[in-house]
Amino acid sequence: MPSQNLNRILWVSLLLLIAVLAVQTRDNLEQFFAGVGRLDVTADADGDTVQLYWRGKIDAPMASRIQDAFDKHRGTAQRFVLSLSSPGGSLQHGGQVVALLRQIRRTHRLDTVIERNRRCASMCVPVYLQGQTRRAAESARFMFHEVSFREQFAEKDIDVPASAKQSATDRLFETYFTPAGVPDAWIRKVRADMSGGNDVWKTARELVDEDAAIVQDVF
């Protein structure tokens, strides 16, 4: 009959195995949703505030999922909070999402948030900028880079002149960053850091310290 010490060791080993499997499962789910995209929707007890949590690429079906959630709750909710966790995605679909969020803002309050240890990269940032109040955990990470041109249905960049990338990047900042109150001086600095195809990563705390006016409040 196994001793108590052996039983204890077996139980500890089993618990460790379960913990490892749980972490692996979580990581696999994060990778899956980063490619597909998923919207979770919850409303508070009185229905006044609706939480929208999008994780995955800024791509279809993001706009349609948000539209469906808004249509379902617009009659009772006064406020929508969009929480993002995204590696970026389609410039075109991101524009559709931004247009939808701007429409929601006409009749309802819209806030955006990036939670602890989450990221908001590339086209996710213009979506985040649509929040009337923009909050983020200090450890949340944001990424900025030049606009890239990709073949449809292919995950590779098209070789285009540097001037075309610069022009498209100028339009991106003029369309989404400047109207949100991001200072020209900060835009010039990050544009210089991005030059040559560099990815520029900053935490929410760094953005606040730099007075970028992207994150308005950290927690």
- What rounded mean pLDDT belongs to the chain? 86
pTM of the full predicted structure?
0.80
Give the pLDDT score at 106. 98
Burial 142-177 (b: 16+ CB within 10 A, else e): bbbbbbbeeeeeeeeeeeeeeeebeeebeebbeebb
More confident residue, 39 or 22: 39
Beta bridge partner(s), residue 85: 55
| CATH architecture type of domain 34-218 | Alpha-Beta Complex (3.90)
